[in-house]
Amino acid sequence: MSADLILEAVGLRRTFHLGRRSSVTALDDVSCGVRRGTCLAVVGESGSGKSTLARVIVGLESADAGEVRIDGAEVRPTTSRSRLRARAKLVQMVFQDPQGSLNRSLPVAATIDEMLRVHRPDLDRAERRARVLELFAEVGLTERHADARPTALSGGQKQRVAIARALAAEPEIIVLDEAVSALDVSVQAQVLDLLDRLREEKGLTYLFITHDLSVVRAVADDVIVMRRGRIVERGTVDEILDRPAHPYTRLLLECAPRPGWVPRRGVIEELAQQI
Amino acid sequence: MLNVEGLTLAVTDPDTGQETEILRGNSFSLGQGEALGLVGESGSGKSMTLKCILGIEPPGSKVGGSIELGGTDLLAASGEQLRKVRANELALIAQNPHGALNPVLHVERFLIEGMADARGIPKAEAKARAAGLLRQVGITDTERVLRSYPHQLSGGLLQRVVIAGAISGEPRLLLADEPTTALDVTTQAEVVAILDEKRREHGLSMIFVSHDLDLAAAICDRLAVMKDGAILEIGTPEEIRDRPKTDYTRALMAARPLLHPEGRAPVLPNGTETDV
């Protein structure tokens, strides 16, 4: 693959065994690459394997086969603290539910502070505090928010904190797993704007996992469409959204609510049969 | 058919005694066979409006105004009257279909109970009708579905079962509360198409609560845009889309991510264009 790929997945396979006789192949020979400073959207429905791909890339899940390369170097599953730390410095993740990455009983600043203690051991206490406030300012929050507990913040504010938490490690890549899916549209638009600005300012690379094709146009440069553990189509945003080739991509596009849309069973069934 | 006048809902915090206004004097009406979409963001009061119609508002809250369904004032009705209205005239389709079905009973029992217990249809007849109901909502392997427990079925299939149950009672008014929000987009499109089709076939009125403006617009005759407990405006989907009366509606429309922002249609390989 070409040299400007910061992140590569090559031939990833992952099967989950659910019982003695049943198993699900979440990743079935998945290969993809993300160019430095761009956003790759991974689109799919439940069971497509998109979240497993994200989790394998950040190292939360191991693959049965295949490899993940960052900056051309293979990153292997590891339990070594120093290697995990090095990986976390390169790749951070933001989840759909920000509550999960925050401690309910502490002010949200404490969570960011903990990240800084790990990733910026050079900073003393006062410097860390200053850095926390700097990070909060970057995601559009103030000192008042920093000293609040997660329960006192709205969903959008919590997601901004989760983004600040990821930024605290100063990563090169952020994996966003349905990071704006639970937000109201007006909040979603603001968070998408924020992500766009941060990417530009910091030269970040995003892997953007989503079930929602409509947000893809707003954030992504390239798209892969996944279904049942396989990539069925890949291309630029314009190619995928304007000139879809695979029947499954066309089905997803047909089913996405949009102005003037009317759901029609006949059309849906016809497209589904072509897959 | 349904007439809601000055509907208010206030909830008192049991600890602080502080009263919060959740619905702020909303009025709307619904004709026979009409579908009204309640659209808005979280906390706008759209689901609470449905709860008030069903009489299942949170404990300790105060409801004001009037809700008249087919001549009965639901807010003044006795328990017995309310039970009758709920059994004969209303059907709820909630976001989570699992909540509608008893997890330890087969789907068949759910459908039979709805018809036999609530509407007094003889059990044998209800049993005979169950499979037909499932076919109506596009389920072909009816025997397997009837003998399944809810946990054995996918969310989309289960939501179809709930729709089948809802129409089995031949209610006057369907109350749909984000019925497809938890479903995958392809499943959502199918379930919404079925819901729309069945509603029209049976001439049912419907209130469709959704955070998705385009989804509601696709199957509703009119939309009511809600914010912070108030209905800001009511109009046809075209009116709301092309001539919004309030800044909030305009902002809400502008915030939606669009597949095709400039209105261009994707070109499909076979040369046909999908409508945008």
Nearest by CB to residue A186, choosing from B187, B190, B251, is B251
Q: Which of A4-18, A33-47, B8-22 has the lowest mean pLDDT?
A: B8-22
The angle formed by the CA atoms of residues A5, A231 and B275, to the nearest 5 degrees, is 110
Tell me: pLDDT of B250 over 90. Answer: yes
By mean pLDDT, which of A38-52, A135-149, B59-73, B261-275 is the weakest?
B261-275
Considering only CB atoms, B186 lies closest to which of A184, A244, A252, namely: A252
pLDDT bucket at A20, cuts 50 / 70 / 90: confident
pLDDT for the residue numbered B263: 54
DSSP for chain A, written as a single string = --TTEEEEEEEEEEEEE-SSS-EEEEEEEEEEEEETT-EEEEE--TTSSHHHHHHHHHTSS--SEEEEEETTEEE-----HHHHHHHHHHEEEE-S-GGGGS-TTS-HHHHHHHHHHHH-TT--HHHHHHHHHHHHHHTT--HHHHTS-GGGS-HHHHHHHHHHHHHHT--SEEEEESTTTTS-HHHHHHHHHHHHHHHHHHT-EEEEEES-HHHHHHH-SEEEEEETTEEEEEEEHHHHHHS--SHHHHHHHHHS--TT----HHHHHHHHHH-
Q: Does A237 touch chain B (CB under 8 A)?
A: no
CB contact under 8 A, B276 and A45: no
Interface predicted TM-score (ipTM) of this complex, two decimals = 0.89
Residue A114 has a pLDDT of 95
Instruction: Give the residue on A whose Cα is nearest the Cα of B219.
Output: A262
For residue range B149-205, what is the model confidence (pLDDT) as tens digits? 999 999 999 999 999 999 998 899 999 999 999 999 999 999 999 999 999 999 999
Contact B188 A185 (CB under 8 A): no
Nearest by CB: B255 against A186, A262, A268: A186
Contact at CB, A257 and B196, closer than 8 angstroms? no
Residue A84: per-residue pLDDT: 86
* Cβ–Cβ below 8 Å for B189 and A260: no
The whole-number average pLDDT for the span A127-154 is: 96
Return d(Cα B245, Cα B232) in angstroms, integer. Answer: 9
**pLDDT at res. A137:** 96
pLDDT value of residue B114: 87
Of A137-151, A213-227, B107-121, B229-243, the least confident: B107-121
CB contact under 8 A, B185 and A213: yes
Residue-level pLDDT at B47: 96
CB within 8 Å of B169: residues ≥ 6 apart: B87, B88, B91, B114, B115, B118, B119
> B257 and A245: CB-CB below 8 Å?
no
pLDDT of residue A95: 95
Partner-chain residue, chosen from A243, A261, A262, that has the shortest CB–CB distance to B267: A243
What is the percent of chain A where pLDDT is above 90?
87
Among A9, A98, A97, A18, which residue's Cα sits nearest to residue A55? Answer: A9
Interchain contact A192–B (C-beta under 8 A): yes
At residue B275, the pLDDT reads: 40
Instruction: Tell me which chain B residues have a C-beta less than 8 angstroms from the C-beta of A237.
Output: none
Mean per-residue pLDDT, B237-260 = 93
Q: How far apart are the first and last CA of chain A?
A: 29
- Is some CB atom of chain B closer than 8 A to the CB atom of A60? no
Kindly report the average pLDDT of chain B as a whole number.
91
* Residue A260 contacts B where some CB pair is shorter than 8 Å: yes
pLDDT in tens, B223-242: 999 999 999 999 999 999 99
Q: From the list A242, A251, A268, which residue is nearest B266 (CB)?
A: A242
Q: Which residues pair with B109 in a beta bridge?
A: none
Sign of CA dihedral B64, B69, B71, B77: negative
Q: Is any Cβ of chain B less than 8 angstroms from the Cβ of A215?
A: yes
Is pLDDT above 70 for A50? Answer: yes
On whether any CB of chain B is under 8 Å from the CB of A261, the answer is: yes
User: How many contacts does A have with B, using Cβ atoms within 8 A?
Assistant: 113
Between vectors from CA A177 to CA A17 and to CA A255, what angle results, nearest 5°? 90
pTM, two decimals, is 0.91
Predicted local distance difference test score (pLDDT) of residue B271 = 40
Chain A: closest CA distance from residue B62 (Å):
26
Confidence label for B13 from pLDDT (cuts 50, 70 and 90)? confident
What does the block give as tokens for A169? Answer: 């490690």
The DSSP bridge partners found for residue A233 are: A225
Residues B13-27, mean pLDDT to the nearest whole number: 91
Q: How confident is the model over A203-211, as a mean pLDDT? A: 97
Residue B226, min C-alpha distance to chain A (Å): 13
pLDDT of A145 reads 96
Q: Which residue of A has its CA nearest to B274?
A: A254
Give the pLDDT score at B272.
42
**Domains of chain A as residue ranges with CATH:** 5-243 (3.40.50.300), 247-275 (no CATH)
Alpha carbons A49 and A117: distance in angstroms, whole number: 34
Confidence of residue B248 (pLDDT cuts 50, 70, 90): very high
pLDDT number for residue B119: 79
- Higher pLDDT: B169 or A63? It is A63
pLDDT average, residue stretch B100-119: 91
Of the candidates B185, B188, B258, which has its C-beta nearest A217's C-beta?
B258
How much is the average pLDDT of A58-69? 94
> Looking at chain A, which residue has its C-alpha nearest residue B261?
A217
**Confidence category of residue A242, pLDDT binned at 50, 70, 90:** very high
pLDDT at A76: 85
Domain borders along chain B are: 34-50+82-255
Q: Which tens digits make up the pLDDT trace of A166-191?
A: 999 999 999 999 999 999 999 999 99
Q: Do residue B259 and residue A256 have CB atoms under 8 angstroms apart?
A: yes
Looking at beta carbons, which residues of chain A come within 8 Å of B260?
217, 241-242, 258
Percentage of chain A lying above the pLDDT 70 cut: 99
- Which amino acid is it at B61? S
> Does the beta-carbon distance from A218 to B241 stay under 8 Å?
no
**Is residue A209 within 8 Å of A178, Cβ to Cβ?**
yes
- Look at A255 and B185 and tell me if their CB atoms are within 8 Å: yes
- Which residues of chain B have a Cβ shorter than 8 Å from any chain A Cβ? 41-42, 138, 184-190, 192-194, 196-197, 211-212, 214-215, 217-219, 241, 251-252, 254-261, 264, 266-269, 274-276
Question: How confident is the model at residue B81, as a pLDDT?
Answer: 93
Across the interface, whether the CB atoms of B257 and A257 are under 8 A apart is answered no
What's residue A3's pLDDT? 54
Long-range contacts: A111-117, Cβ < 8 Å, 24+? Answer: A111/A161, A111/A165, A112/A136, A112/A146, A112/A161, A112/A164, A112/A165, A112/A168, A115/A165, A115/A168, A115/A169, A116/A168
A-chain residues within 8 Å CB-CB of B184? 45-46, 211
Candidates A2, A10, A38; CA nearest to A173 is A38
For residue A240, the chain B residue with the least C-alpha distance is B266
More confident residue, B264 or A41: A41
Instruction: Indicate the class that CATH gives domain B34-50+82-255.
Output: alpha beta
B chain contacts of residue A226, beta-carbon cutoff 8 Å: none
Residue B265 has pLDDT above 90, yes or no: no
Residue A255 has pLDDT above 90, yes or no: yes
pLDDT (tens digit per residue) in B136-154: 999 999 999 999 999 999 9
Percent pLDDT > 90 in chain B is 82
